[in-house]
Structure 1
């Protein structure tokens, strides 16, 4: 994906003085053949809280074509390749503010954004040889989308992202914001480590990247979106993304309609498995390390469906010059309320990117699975 569509993580911002800048024809033919296959409408099975897990939907598993060779796909989504996953239960929605609040009340857990960053976790995200910042520069906080007052060129994301001291899951846009009356919204400003801690408490786990994509597709073979091939269904939006027909990205001035944010989980119709908001609203952590070339590696060595892939052994992300190629990155999926046709087309089931596991952001949350 273009370098202009990447948000530099919070570590680069914190290291004093560093400014924020917050396979070919065979695959295409395989994609066309897969799309022509007949499909059976999936059956929605929701947990009852007695014999099956409450608030979760059954995803039956099976063989599917992962990734995309569509014209909208980025290089890291290519090529398509067959993958097999076993069945599993998945949260119907993102983990919400209310659910996360219960976890914090019962455990006393303190999130990454509420702690002073550790220099060692910052250092690995920076160009080699970067000196430690002066004392007092590293402060608790998180990355916040602030937007702009007027249209700007989309080649410098520091214009609409900022590291905000005091931003955390209770205060997603900074210390003066709150989640009051937003208990049903996806919890955001949670790191990969925070999601793992919640998962352990809940007796669940983060989905693998393959599980996530299979679930997001809802039984639709290689559809462009989680609901089909057209962005609008009968003229209606099917996800929370940035509509550039209403205002240009990233303008958030009152004159342009105010700030963008999450919507309550379940605002839009479910997919074929009964899952809500699999794309749009807030990005979602997956369990895997992120490699930009992982799909190409998988396809190159596969002689048949790849059985339940668990992801690569390390990260590889060449998108930020000067930053180590193997700087830690975990997969995030689904896109968010900021994705749009002019800048980020990640509200698609195949879209993927990597994110610093210790970098909470105001458009990043998670959901869990259980087997």
Structure 2
């Protein structure tokens, strides 16, 4: 866990390049109480320890399926699965879960240092209860992601997703969603410490997997002025299927479709949702 000092920080952006419905701006100042945040997202190894001790059953396991991006599936596997209308690059894969990320016949044996995926927000809350930790608010997440800078897009010096031609995060390269050139080295998730951390020592705050937050989706930025991260978590520490915030983007983000890999970008998902690009990290 890495300490983020208390202080007044800027959140949001005035750059106007996001989606208006995401309410990324105008930028404001908020006071953030001191907190600590895990240097990486929760890994398969960590989640496996949790499940072994608690016998916890995830939402995806209860439902019997989860969403998988089409390029991660073989043609044979696709023929067996459900293609959901309006979600042309996603398949609802039967038998898919955190321990079977690409279908019932797959495993995480070679992915123990990758982020756990196919975890709903409800699953993340259960893990937090077991560890005595909690989920970050969007404001806490954003302050931590900036890594001691005032940047609103990326935590590195150059305002470019590929600074000086170097791939420093896991996103999508190529013709989205048909062909991923994998110039960053990965078609799906990368191990949690693949790229250089930010100035706080936090790994992959941009790309790899979306990260669940504690607050509801789309609240105005002013909401964070008078609410501490602990209070927000207490208020929303419940299992349900309402819409909640997610941050950071994933290995599927591409500027032609979803440019939400930026630090200030905002979006969300329903609390029981799970997919091959959705994980979480914890704070205290």
Q: When the two structures are superposed, what TM-score results if normalisation uses the length of structure 1?
A: 0.66
Count of residue pairs the alignment pairs up: 264
Tell me the distance in 1 between the aligned counterparts of 2:16 and 2:139. 21
1:168 and 2:82 are equivalent in the alignment: no
355-364 or 68-77, larger mean C-alpha shift: 68-77
Tell me the distance in 2 between the aligned counterparts of 1:294 and 1:311. 14
Q: Among 167, 174, 181, which residue is 2:110 paired with?
A: 181
Tell me the distance in 2 between the aligned counterparts of 1:165 and 1:219. 43
Q: How does 1:34-73 map to 2 (within 5 A)?
A: 56-73=1-18
CA drift at 1:71? 3.8
Cross-structure match for 1:287: 214
DSSP-derived class of the 1:159 partner: coil
Unaligned residue ranges in structure 2 (runs of 5+): 75-84
Q: Greater share of strand residues, 1 or 2?
A: 2
1:145 and 2:145 are equivalent in the alignment: no
Cross-structure match for 1:265: 192
CA drift at 1:172? 1.4
Q: When the two structures are superposed, what TM-score results if normalisation uses the length of structure 2?
A: 0.85
1:234 and 2:164 are equivalent in the alignment: yes
Contact (CA 8 Å) 2:13, 2:152: kept in 1 or not? no
Tell me the distance in 1 between the aligned counterparts of 2:88 and 2:156. 33
Cross-structure match for 1:368: 282
Cross-structure match for 2:80: none
Larger Rg: 1
Tell me the distance in 2 between the aligned counterparts of 1:161 and 1:90. 31
Tell me the distance in 2 between the aligned counterparts of 1:272 and 1:87. 17
CA drift at 1:74? 2.5
Unaligned residue ranges in structure 1 (runs of 5+): 1-55, 117-139, 150-155, 315-326
CA drift at 1:266? 1.0
Contact (CA 8 Å) 2:67, 2:274: kept in 1 or not? yes
| 1:205-229 Cα shifts (integer Å, max 9, x gaps) | 1111111111011111134212242
Superposition CA RMSD, Å: 2.8
1:215 and 2:144 are equivalent in the alignment: yes
CA drift at 1:67? 0.9
332-341 or 227-236, larger mean C-alpha shift: 227-236
Contact (CA 8 Å) 2:170, 2:186: kept in 1 or not? no
| 1:107-160 Cα shifts (integer Å, max 9, x gaps) | 1111111113xxxxxxxxxxxxxxxxxxxxxxx1111111499xxxxxx85210
Are the structure 2 counterparts of residues 340 and 203 from structure 1 closer, same or farther at C-alpha, using a change threshold of 3 Å?
same
